[in-house]
A and B are shown apart, each in its own frame.
Chain A
Amino acid sequence: MRSETSRLEADTPRRKPLAFAVLIVLLGACSSEAMSPPEPEVGQAGAFIAVDSPAGLSLLRTLEAIHIEGDNLIFTTLYDVTPASWDEAREIAKQRTIPIRDTLVTISEGLLAGRSHRVVWFRTLTKEEEDRAR
């Protein structure tokens, strides 16, 4: 009898972590907060991209992307701003009116990958912005 009790007590600690793990999995499955929302990507029309260069950060916005010979060719608008940080680039991107340096700049995603860059914001394109790439 004594040995049986000891065996039960010995089993209990092993069961607790298992039950806890199942609970965590179930709770995670029920909570949509556990799923991170989709983040905008470089090739998605409307994405604001901050690119680091020797002259500082530049701010671009994707108008359209086309796939050519294993690379993505991205048509962008280059803004006439020089943010000092990624955060400042995001704040500038949230503004509705941003000064434009070049309305249409074409860059290769492959070349862009060689530079430090971040997608800092996203906003769906207006009709005028869509027309720039056509």
Chain B
Amino acid sequence: MKSVRRRYLALEIECDGFVDSREFLDAVWGAVLKLYGEYGASRVGLALIDYDVEKRFAVIRTVHSAVDMVRTALASMTRIGNKPVTIHVIRVSGTIKSLYKKVNK
């Protein structure tokens, strides 16, 4: 069986208040679902790897072929709950180790 190529995205969350990890992941799923529907969302393979509320930093995982879809969905997000929010992709990498190396550079 062919192994799944994955990509890890480091994200910066700009928000006035704090957003917990559950709310954040639901909002990302919601954005993907809104733009690409259930069929599209099923191909994304989204997972939350790391989330730091204080630093407003998150790492999510997706499959290699869906990076553009996730990037688009993240850019289309303007709110989480009632809070206005902007999410920027800082880095994309193939392994968690190299992602943190690039982010901390």
Are A and B genuine complex partners?
no
Query: Which residues of chain B have a CB within 8 Å of any CB of chain A?
Result: none
Chain A interface (Cβ within 8 Å of chain B)?
Answer: none
